[in-house]
Chain A
Amino acid sequence: MEQDLTKSKSKIIWLGDRAKSTWGKRQNIEGRAAQIFLLICALLSIATTVGIVVSLVSQSVGFFKEVSIWEFLTGTRWTPILIPRSYGVLPLVVGTLLVTIISVIVAVPIGMGIAIFLSTYAPEQLRRIIKPVLEILAGIPTVVYGYFAITLVSPMLQKVFTNMLIFNALSAGLVMGLMIIPMVSSLSEDAMMAVPQSLKEGAFALGATRFEVALKVTIPSALSGIITSIILALSRAIGETMIVTIAAGATPKMTFNPIDSIQTMTAFIVQLSLGETPHGSLEYNTIFAVGLLLFLMTLIMNLLSQWVVSRWHRRY
Chain B
Amino acid sequence: MTRHIDTVADATAYPEREQPYTELGLKADEYARIREILGRRPTSAELAMYSVMWSEHCSYKSSKVHLRQFGDKKPETDALLVGIGENAGVVDIGQGWAVTFKVESHNHPSYVEPYQGAATGVGGIVRDIISMGARPVAVMDPLRFGAADHPDTHRVLPGVVAGIGGYGNCLGLPNIGGEVVFDPCYQGNPLVNALCVGTLRHEDIHLASAKGVGNLVVLYGAKTGGDGIGGASILASETFDEGGPTKRPAVQVGDPFMEKLLIECTLEVLHAGLVEGIQDLGAAGISCATSELASNGEGGMHVRLDSVPLRDATLTPEEILMSESQERMAAVVTPEKIDAFLEICRKWDVTADVIGEVTDTGRLVIEWHGEVIVDVPPRTVAHDGPVYHRPYARPSWQDALQADDPGLLARPVTAAELRDTVLTLVGSPNLASKTWVTAQYDRYVQGNTVLAQPEDAGVIRVDEESGLGVAISTDCNGRFAKLDPYAGAQLALAEAYRNVAATGAAPLAVTNCLNFGSPEDPDVMWQFERAVTGLADGCLELGIPVTGGNVSFYNQTGDVAIHPTPVVGVLGVIDDVARRTPMAFRAIGDVVLVLGETREELAGSEWAHVVHGHLGGLPPKVDLAAERALGEVLVAAARGSLVTAAHDVSDGGIAQVLVEMALREGVGATVRVPAGLDPFVFLVGESTARAVVTADPARAATLEALATQHGVPVARIGVVTGPGDDLQVDLVVGDSVAWTLAELRATADATLPALFG
Chains A and B form a bound pair: no
